[in-house]
A and B are shown apart, each in its own frame.
Chain A
Amino acid sequence: MKRVWALLLLFTLALAQTPTGEPPPDLSPEVFRIASELRCPVCQGESAAESNAGVSQEMRRQIAEMLKEGKSEEAIKQYFVERYGEWILYAPPKRGINWLLWLAPAIGLLVFGFGLWRYLAEARRREAELALSEEEIRALERRLEEE
Chain B
Amino acid sequence: MTPGLLGNVALVLGFVFTALGLVLSAVAWWAKDARYVEAAKRAAVFSFLAALLAFAALEWALLTDDFSIAYTAKNHSTKSPTWVKFATLWAALEGSILLWATFQALYTLFAARRLRDYWMAPAVLGTLFGVQLFFFAVMLFVANPFTPVPNPPTEGPGPNPLLQNHWMMAVHPVLMYLGFVGISVPFAYAVAAMLARRYQSWVAETRWWTLVAFGFLTAAIFAGGWWSYEVLGWGGYWAWDPVENASFIPWLLLVAFLHTALVQERRGMFKTWNFAYVTLAFAATVFGTFLTRSGVIQSVHAFVEGAVGPVFLGFLLAVLFVGFSLLSRVASEVRDVGGLNLVSREGLLLGASLVFATMAFVVVLGTLFPLIVEAATGDKVSVGSPFFDSVFAPLGTVLLLLMGAGPLFPWGRLDAYAARALSVMLSALALSMALSLFLGATFGVALGVGLFAYNLVAVFAQAGRGVAAWRKKARGVLAAVFAYLTRARRQVGAQLVHFGVALAALAIVFSQAYRVDAQKTLEVGERAVVAGVPLTLHRLDARDEGFRYAVIAEVEVPGVGRMYPRLHYYPTMNSPLAAPSVHYGLYNDDYLILQAFDTEQGRWATLRLVRTPMVLWLWIAGGIILFGVFYIVFPGFALRRRESAEVAA
User: Interface on A for B, CB 8 Å cutoff?
Assistant: 1, 4-5, 7-9, 11-13, 15, 17-18, 20-21, 23-29, 31-33, 36-37, 39, 43-47, 49-53, 60, 85-92, 97-98, 100-102, 104-105, 107-109, 112-113, 116, 119-120, 123-124, 126-127, 130
Contact = CB atoms under 8 A, between A and B. Distances in A.
Interface in B296-339: 297-300, 302, 335-339
B628 to A, nearest CB: 27
Interface in B569-600: 569, 574-576, 578, 595-596, 598-600
Nearest to A21: B600
Contact of A4 (B300, B521, B542, B595): B542
B51 to A, nearest CB: 32
Interface residues of B, number: 75
Nearest to A12: B599
Contacts of B383: 90-92, 101
B519 A27 contact: yes
Given A109-B354, A120-B340, 16 more contacts: A8-B542, A11-B599, A20-B600, A23-B606, A25-B519, A26-B521, A27-B520, A32-B517, A44-B298, A52-B575, A92-B369, A104-B362, A107-B361, A108-B362, A123-B337, A126-B335
Nearest to A129: B337
B381 A45 contact: no
A12 B232 CA distance: 20
A23 B382 contact: no
B354 A112 contact: yes
B201 interface: no
B239 A92 contact: no
A28 B340 contact: no
| Top 7 closest pairs, chain A to chain B, by CB | A90-B384, A108-B358, A91-B386, A50-B234, A27-B519, A23-B521, A87-B380
Interface in B509-545: 516-521, 531, 542-544
Contacts of A27: 518-520, 608
Nearest to B355: A109
A95 B387 CA distance: 14
B500 interface: no
A36 B595 contact: no
Interface of B: 232-234, 236, 239, 241-242, 269-270, 273, 297-300, 302, 335-340, 350, 354-355, 357-359, 361-362, 365-366, 369, 373, 376-377, 379-387, 390-391, 394-395, 516-521, 531, 542-544, 549, 551, 569, 574-576, 578, 595-596, 598-602, 604, 606, 608
B542 A45 contact: no
Contacts of B578: 52
B223 to A, nearest CB: 19
A47 B236 CA distance: 11
A63 B630 CA distance: 48
B358 A52 contact: no
A120 B269 CA distance: 10
A141 to B, nearest CB: 22
A70 to B, nearest CB: 20
Contacts, number: 195
B386 A32 contact: no
Contact of A88 (B300, B340, B382): B382
A43 B549 contact: no
A108 B394 CA distance: 14
Contacts of A108: 357-359, 361-362
A130 B27 CA distance: 40
A24 B78 CA distance: 36
Given A8-B551, A52-B575, A101-B387, A123 B338 contact: yes
A2 B238 CA distance: 40
A44 B299 contact: yes
A45 B330 CA distance: 41
9 contacts: A20-B599, A37-B386, A39-B384, A44-B302, A50-B233, A90-B384, A104-B362, A108-B358, A113-B354
A124 B339 CA distance: 4
Contact of B361 (A31, A43, A104): A104
B235 to A, nearest CB: 9
Contacts of A26: 518-521
Contact of A45 (B300, B355, B520, B576): B300
A13 B391 CA distance: 44
B300 A43 contact: yes
Nearest to B361: A108
Contacts of B576: 11-12, 17
Contacts of A21: 598, 600
A28 B518 contact: yes
B338 A124 contact: yes
Contacts of A4: 542-544, 549
Contacts of A9: 599-600
A108 B316 CA distance: 23
A30 B48 CA distance: 55
A109 B602 contact: no
Contacts of B358: 105, 108-109, 112
Contacts of A47: 239, 384-385
Contacts of B355: 109
Contacts of A109: 354-355, 358
Contacts of A124: 338-340
A13 B239 CA distance: 31
Contacts of A102: 387, 391
Contacts of A91: 383-384, 386-387, 390
B381 A92 contact: yes
Contacts of A97: 373, 376-377
Nearest to B601: A5
Given A24-B519, A90-B383, A105 B362 contact: yes
A32 B518 contact: yes
B545 to A, nearest CB: 10
